[in-house]
Amino acid sequence: MKYKSQKVAYWFFALSMLLIVLQITYGFIMGFAHMGFDGLHNIIPFNAARATHNNLLVVWLLSGFMGAAYYIIPEEAQQELVSVKLAYVQLITLALVGVTAVIGFHFNWWEGRKFLEIPRELDFLVVINVITFLGIILATLFKGKKQSTTAMVLTMGLVFAALLYLPGMIWFDNQGMDSFFRWWVVHLWVEGVWELIMGGILAFLLIKLTGVDREVIEKWLYVIVGLTFLSGILGTGHHYYYIGAPEYWLIIGGIFSALEPLAFLGMALFAIHMYRKGGRNHPNKTALFWTLGSAIVSFVGAGLLGLAHTLPQVNMYTHGTLVTAMHGHLAFWGAYGMIVFAMISYALPQLTGRKLYNTVTGLYGFWLSLIGMVGMTTAFGVAGVAQVYLERRIGLDFMVAQQEIEVHFLVLVLCATIFATGITMFIIDFVRYGQPNDEALIGEDEVNSLENA
Amino acid sequence: MLSKKQAKAFFLGGTVLFSAIFLALSVETVTSSMPEKTNDSQITEAVVRGKEIWDSNNCMGCHTILGEGAYYAPELTRVYSRKGESYIKTVLMAKEPWAPRGRKMVAYALSEEEANDAVAFFKWINEMDLNGFPPEPDPALSK
Ligand code: HEM
Ligand SMILES: [Fe+2]
């Protein structure tokens, strides 16, 4: 690391690790409930587990993105963060709001709006927290010596993500309208502005890991995020087919969302091509695995599995079934989970000065989590397709169909165990790196010689 | 070959253009088409109270409505016509977890008035024009 203040990033990453463990725990609770073992029903009913699982996901990803920004922005802008103290305050308040929300879910304190369950009162605290974060990032960026494209795209993604949270805070009496604007948050995040965040992190990592010329990488970054908005904004229509919105969304949503995989294909080809083109043989192979992995798996999970149910003719039958869960898991993991893990893998040796680059645990952490998640996706997919036929095509009662597909949740839980083992290995490495320290500070020349080693 | 400047123009131009189209369509949807298709004028106070019950208990954390929510409990968009008023009220007023086929629902033990509000909400949802959702099963397949 080159700037002392980059150390803040470490603690955001640590918070991410803590929350992902909790997220997975609640995932297991739901997996068992689907198998018929709902012994916790009285303390943690399914909807509490579900709200906790989804919101912890969002918070650990955001914490990871924030950590990434606190690491990347000083380096790109060549400027220490304007206030480290404020960044720590922001970290602690983020953790407090997150924990309060999750505890509240267990006491029926929430809003029944998928992904936006955090109650309105806490929403305002989230907004203040995010404004603090953006204030630090923007002030640092514009005080700095330069505003690189990578830093600008990353920051733009973060600013837009904050702005798009606001329409989700408006109350509507009409369930359809409520849903209409809920997607401004959820869809325009994951299929819009979060792709800018992912693209920015990906570009930063590729510049560092492959040594390809910045101008080339950033040019393609523009093309990719251009494709994202070209398809993803009107692609929001794929959530408007069946919620009481007019029929023109079937055509517009169908066509534009079917183009969305292009942006993810772009990410994958971009990463692979830059890797092949790059002359630099960076010693941190674990970070390289996660970086390329994220670009490729996001294309499969978000691009291909999204395409699988995005046309209105298909979505009519799959809408609101486990097919959605199949896609949701690999998409979130590939695009956003893995890019956060890539960033952490790259940053830890820099922050701590320890070069545990290519440990066995690091390697297995990558492969086991990937194999486990692909297995889970398959189990959800098989269960989902069976559900569609039994319930939507043949017309069996919901619960009769559920009992038919129960066995797939056994497979799901087994694969989830493989996934969790991979995550455990990653966390073991995280702990072994220890805390960041100033001895890891190095000058420009050393950075270059290290990276070209 | 494409220059960085052109790539930037493609990104910024596309963003502005497609955001503008999206905003225009959204205005049309929420001010005109959607109120009509969802019978917005028939949202009574009881429906609003019913939605509050739906929202504040996070029913969507297990069920789906309009196909949105979780996949643990039945789709409720057409529950009003499928099950009828008295069945819905029995479930919501039950003091023990409702579990006709083993999977438990939270026992909400709603009052009669609250249950009536929830029914009003489901009845309003039931009448929405949803472009053909949920699909009708094919009777030929179940023979
Ligand atoms: C990284 C990007 C993406 C992530 C994280 C993601 C995640 C998700 C999640 C979690 C849901 C369920 C949301 C809910 O029910 O509340 C969902 C729904 C959906 N996604 Fe994605 N997605 C991504 C990209 C895509 C792409 C590129 C496409 C299309 C090509 C797509 C198509 C869909 C469709 C059609 C649904 C609606 C399913 C339904 O309710 O009928 N997604 N996505
Ligand atoms: Fe979407």
List of domains in chain A: 4-451 (1.20.210.10)
Q: Which of B18, B29, B68 sits opposite A230 (nearest CB)?
A: B18
The identity of residue A329, as a single letter, is H
Q: Is A445 on the interface with B (CB under 8 A)?
A: no
For testing the chain A interface, which of B66, B82, B83, B127 should be mutated: the one with the most A CBs within 10 Å? B66
- Answer whether A185's CB lies under 8 Å from A160's CB: no
Query: Considering Cα of A361, then A366, then A372, then A375, what sign does the dihedral take?
Result: negative
Say yes or no for a CB contact (<8 Å) between B11 and A175. no
Q: Which of B11, B19, B104 sits opposite A226 (nearest CB)?
A: B11
Q: Could you list the pLDDT tens digit for every one of the 143 residues in chain B?
A: 899 999 999 999 999 999 999 999 999 999 999 999 999 999 999 999 999 999 999 999 999 999 999 999 999 999 999 999 999 999 999 999 999 899 999 999 999 999 999 999 999 999 999 999 999 999 888 77
Average of per-residue pLDDT values in chain A: 96
CA-nearest residue of chain A to B13? A226
| Ligand 1 geometric centre to CA of A328 (Å) | 6
| Ligand 2 geometric centre to CA of A238 (Å) | 6
Tell me the per-residue pLDDT of A320-353, one tens digit each, with 9 for 90 and over: 999 999 999 999 999 999 999 999 999 999 999 9
| Ligand 1 geometric centre to CA of A249 (Å) | 16
For testing the chain A interface, which of B22, B64, B125, B129 should be mutated: the one with the most A CBs within 10 Å? B22
State the closest ligand 1 atom to the C-alpha of A195, by its place in the atom list counted from 1. Answer: 1
Say yes or no for a CB contact (<8 Å) between B30 and A177. yes
Q: Is B21 on the interface with A (CB under 8 A)?
A: yes
Say yes or no for a CB contact (<8 Å) between A242 and B14. no
Helix pair A338-352, A398-433: axis angle to 10 deg: 10
What is the gyration radius of the CA atoms in chain A, in angstroms?
Answer: 21
Ligand 1 lining (C-beta closer than 6 Å): A 114-115, 186, 190-191, 238, 257, 260-261, 298, 302-303, 306-307, 309-310, 315, 318-320, 324, 327-328, 331-332, 335; B 67-68
| Amino acid A448: pLDDT | 57
- Quote the CA–CA distance of A125 and A119 in Å, as a whole number: 10
Residues 57-86 on B with a CB inside 8 Å of A are 57-62, 64-75
Tell me the per-residue pLDDT of A121-141, one tens digit each, with 9 for 90 and over: 999 999 999 999 999 999 999
Query: Averaged over A410-431, what is the pLDDT?
Result: 98
Q: What is the ipTM of this complex?
A: 0.97
- Answer whether A292's CB lies under 8 Å from A366's CB: no
Residues 38-77 on A with a CB inside 8 Å of B are 38, 41, 45-48, 50-51
Say yes or no for a CB contact (<8 Å) between B74 and A321. no
Fold of B44-131: Cytochrome Bc1 Complex; Chain D, domain 2 (1.10.760)
% of residues, chain A, pLDDT over 70? 98
Indicate the pLDDT class of residue A451, thresholds 50, 70 and 90: low
- Quote the CA–CA distance of B94 and A144 in Å, as a whole number: 63
Indicate the pLDDT class of residue A449, thresholds 50, 70 and 90: low
Q: Is A279 on the interface with B (CB under 8 A)?
A: no
Say yes or no for a CB contact (<8 Å) between A244 and B34. yes
Tell me the per-residue pLDDT of A73-104, one tens digit each, with 9 for 90 and over: 999 999 999 999 999 999 999 999 999 999 99
CA-nearest residue of chain A to B36? A244
8-state DSSP, A435: -
A-B CB pairs within 8 A amount to 209
Q: Return the number of other C-beta atoms located less than 10 Å from residue B50's C-beta.
A: 25
- Quote the CA–CA distance of A360 and A241 in Å, as a whole number: 47
- Quote the CA–CA distance of A259 and A262 in Å, as a whole number: 6
Say yes or no for a CB contact (<8 Å) between B141 and A393. yes
CA-nearest residue of chain A to B8? A222
| Ligand 2 geometric centre to CA of B37 (Å) | 22
Q: Which of B8, B55, B67 sits opposite A319 (nearest CB)?
A: B67
Give the residue from A73, A61, A66, A53 showing the smallest Cα distance to A17: A61
CA-nearest residue of chain A to B64? A320
Say yes or no for a CB contact (<8 Å) between A176 and B75. no
- The gap from C-alpha A389 to its chain's centroid, in whole angstroms, comes to 31
| Amino acid A444: pLDDT | 57
Indicate the pLDDT class of residue A450, thresholds 50, 70 and 90: low
**Which ligand neighbours the alpha carbon of A188 most closely?**
2
Domain ranges across chain B: 44-131
* B64 vs A contacts (CB less than 8 Å): 320
**Which ligand neighbours the alpha carbon of A61 most closely?**
1
Indicate the pLDDT class of residue A453, thresholds 50, 70 and 90: very low
Indicate the pLDDT class of residue A53, thresholds 50, 70 and 90: very high
Whether pTM exceeds 0.90:
yes
**Which ligand neighbours the alpha carbon of A194 most closely?**
1
Residue A386 has pLDDT above 90, yes or no: yes
| Amino acid A272: pLDDT | 97
| Amino acid B28: pLDDT | 98
Say yes or no for a CB contact (<8 Å) between B142 and A395. yes
| Ligand 1 geometric centre to CA of A311 (Å) | 12
| Amino acid A447: pLDDT | 61
Residue of A179, A304, A310 best suited for mutating to test ligand 1, as the one with most atoms within 8 Å of CB: A310
Residues 6+ apart with CB under 8 A from A404: A386, A390, A396
Tokens of B37: 């298709």
End-to-end, the C-alpha distance of chain B in Å comes to 61
- Quote the CA–CA distance of A160 and A158 in Å, as a whole number: 6
**Which ligand neighbours the alpha carbon of A338 most closely?**
1
Tell me the per-residue pLDDT of A11-41, one tens digit each, with 9 for 90 and over: 999 999 999 999 999 999 999 999 999 999 9
- Answer whether A133's CB lies under 8 Å from A157's CB: no
Q: Is A240 on the interface with B (CB under 8 A)?
A: yes
- Answer whether A321's CB lies under 8 Å from A387's CB: yes
Coil, helix or strand at residue B69: strand
